[in-house]
Structure 1
Amino acid sequence: MCYDETNTQIDERLAKQKKAIDGWLPITSSRNAKWWYSAFHNVTATVGAGVLGLPYAMAQLGWGPGVAILVLSWVITLYTLWQMVEMHEMVPGRRFDRYHELGQYAFGEKLGLYIVVPQQLIVEVAACIVFMVTGGKSLKKFHDTVCSTCKDIKLTYFIMIFASVHFVLSHLPNFNSISGVSLAAAAMSLSYSTIAWGASIHKGVQADVQYGYKAETASGTVFNFFSALGDVAFAYAGHNVVLEIQATIPSTPEKPSKGLMWRGVVVAYIVVAFCYFPVALIGYRIFGNSVEDNILISLEKPAWLIGMANIFVVIHVIGGYQIYAMPVFDMMETVLVTKLNFSPTRLLRFVVRNVYVGFTMFIAITFPFFGGLLAFFGGFALAPTTYFLPCIMWLAIYKPRKYSLSWWTNWFCIICGLCLIILSPIGGLRQIILSAKTYEFYS
């Protein structure tokens, strides 16, 4: 009898401890989000640095392949996002609050971790690094635009200025606490995208515009094409945090969270289309194959408008950084508290998050190659978790009838994703190498 009572006490203590830890961790500490939180969190997670590189991607792809890949990517990623939303509560009474938890259910406890966690970490850390580079470059562009006669300042210092904001914001405890930052970021993404294509129209088609492939050799054209696939894949990121975003929405058996979450996703993807297609098509139409890997760099006038657009980009990537960093904070804090038995304290959170921000800042300063980073990480990391991993989990869990529409659709998405993961890192790595050779670290 005493043995049973002891076991009961142990179970109660462990349950109480787990509840306390869940109430402290950033993903599970708050579940009172509204559906529109989902909308602007998803806009912030998806529309980011990638949209500014889409005209450059179009220049490497050409009109026909470029338009086809943009549209196909929008459709595929909306479909896989719907799958993620549906799978969040596929088991009655249980919520898969984190990507790796869903992976563990689909592939097994250990294999699910090995498959999902490395990919998700690469995606989220890579996105934070690219946001660091983008924020620093946009700050530098703003400085050079509004003060063209001022002394030139290294990009390194602007990245450090951008990082200083995150040494403060990163201590907000959970997703709901950054909702204001995310809302501002979503509004800015719509604003600077509109400025990008609006200012391009105002500038007019350039007199010497050319739409042919810029590379002088066939191999160069092929490598650039591969690189552009990665740019597009990076632009359609966002799935890596969708379960974590949905975890903040309240849910009951009568009113599951997937209804509210899907409403927000639909609104978000309408905004994504409004941002992506005009920027990509108009930007390429105006500048042709001479467009920069960040279209705002190609736009020089009016100076006040371009300066404002760059500030909008800075505000947006501040929010984007926080959205992608939050699941990383959750992973690190979970390991420290549950595996290494650290106490869930503010001091622990202060140290962990500052170390992470400092790490991403250091990598961004070391490798400030915007275009190459987009292509390499877009294909190597984002394509699996965005294009085909949800489909594989869907096939593993729901097991649709062989040769049915669902079966064919998922395999088509898987094949497209595999093409991205095989081809685009090749082009992205080449672009990083070329950028490293030409970049002047001490200019």
Structure 2
Amino acid sequence: MGNPKAFLTIHRQEAGYRPIHDRIHDFGEVEQTLNANDRRTQASRCMDCGVPFCHWACPLGNKPPEWNDALCRGDYELAYRLLNSTNDFPEFTGRVCPALCEKACVLNLVEHEPTTNREDEAAITEMAFHENYVRTEHPERNGRRVCVVGAGPAGLVAANRLNLAGYSVTVFDRNEAAGGLLRYGIPNFKLNKAIIDRRLEVMHGEGVEFRCGVEIDVNKLPDGFDAYVIATGTPTARDLKVPGRELRGVYFALDMLAQQNRVLAGMEFNKDQAVSARGKDVLVIGGGDTGSDCIGTAHRQGCRSVTQIEIMPMPPAGPDDPQNPWPAFPRTLKTTSSHEEGCTRRWNVNTLEFLGKDGRLTGVKVQEIEWKPNPEGGRPLMVPAGKPEVIKADMALLAMGFLKPELPKVADNVVFAGDAASGASLVVRAMASGRDAAAKIDNMLRGAR
């Protein structure tokens, strides 16, 4: 390591966020960056721990000790080569990954100050693009063609890997542009879409063909391909079927998030189509990352107030989680940049009914609940713990996750990847699944030669 004792004297330093009064007025990325010297200093904290649990925790098998050492020494090109050897698109995970590696860092166990792997990853990749270390490859073609259905993180990784292995790859996506969840589910203030376009330009230059705005029936896949990757994600959001669900003002979270990203891309929507929080009291139902993204988007659209409710109990404040001890990922209370911008947060709250007047939402009837052990075992029992109350709301956003799709029976040359195979999960896990799908198809087609 560059300095195996640096962690003894150097504390963790995060780049932090732009000031709240500044960032809530635009959709620019909220996260700031350290200068090059401070970034190298942070990389030097990666100690010679012997057993790198960061590598174990990362679904992609990233190797932070290796590329942090290169970064510490100022060798950005080597750092990028090491990083890119396991991670096709570190510019994505460097922005939106929850950094499983950091929670498994030895320094997180002993000091609760893990190495800044995620920020280091983003900085390495930005320097790589700036210095033209990201080269366009021109692989020799092997005569085989592969179809990838879905241009989200799993599909893009599968396409990238197969293309570099010599296959002619065509990617189909039903949306007007590639990116999937990265483009239409994650707000620009977390991931600027120019970052996606930059990588797509590299892939296009390397020979990947993209056909967007094309709906593919997975039961009737297009002819002319030797193998197929189905990476269509989890398109069906979990609904909340309570009285009043039909009222205007009740939306799925992605109705808002996807439309806002399209607006920023130049699309226009009329007044009846617009899903806007401007001047409204907003209730977000669901306590996960998607709900957090709705909070940040609502603020930027000019909402009056935001409340977020979650049916499950409030997680422990941390930093330790007795139920998931190190090196497992702790399920502790998470406060995002969006929460910092202003939000009333409540837990153990069940939604009973959407209330309205003249067909429009005016409030949501809720009730505090408790979870008690089920005497018969299995899922705990939800019991009322308070009287019903009404939360004033002109807009309610359902951010309760997505349903795992039912997979049809397919031929042996068809492989499912990402959320389509596993159900909704992390971007980094979808990318790892796309890589595995590419390897499976490569092994299969090589054996068929």
TM-score, normalised via structure 1 length? 0.25
Structure ranking higher in helix proportion: 1
Structure ranking higher in strand proportion: 2
TM-score, normalised via structure 2 length? 0.25
Pick 1 or 2: higher relative contact order, CA cutoff 8 A, min separation 6: 1
